[in-house]
Amino acid sequence: MNTVAQKTNKMNKLTFGQRLVQIRKAMGLTQTELGSRIGVSQRIIHHYENKAEYPPTPKLIELAQALNKSVDELLGMENGNTETYQDIKPTLAKKLRRASQLPSNDLKALSTFIDALILKQQVKDTGVHNEA
């Protein structure tokens, strides 16, 4: 690997804190909300995101559970689950998180509605029109 590629590869590697910020924001969570999920203050989450190299192991596990991620993902391991939700708008992520608390029949209706909207967009994108 040449030196330019090595520098680019190093620049693409995020710190733990940077990954934590991205994941938290992608889920539409504030520092306070994430802190309450793992039993710490907003100040501690700020510390994990900006000052600490890594949180204590028990808190790392709690963060992974609270964010529905693997510890490997939080640590930036190559073999971790690579699926991320960084491209989801924070306001949508927050609504989906709140919607996940709905009763199962409402969740099923919401899922059906979302599927219908996606299908409608796919049909629109392919240029297929329904003529009556």
Q: What is the pLDDT of residues 33-86, one digit of tens each?
A: 999 999 999 999 999 999 998 999 889 999 999 999 988 888 887 544 444 555
The H-assigned helical ranges of 1-132 are 3-12, 16-26, 31-38, 42-50, 57-66, 71-75, 90-99, 104-126
| Residue-range domains of the chain with CATH | 3-86 (1.10.260.40)
Query: Which pLDDT belongs to residue 9?
Result: 44
pLDDT band at 4 (very low <50, low <70, confident <90, very high): very low
| 11: confidence class by pLDDT, cuts 50, 70, 90 | very low
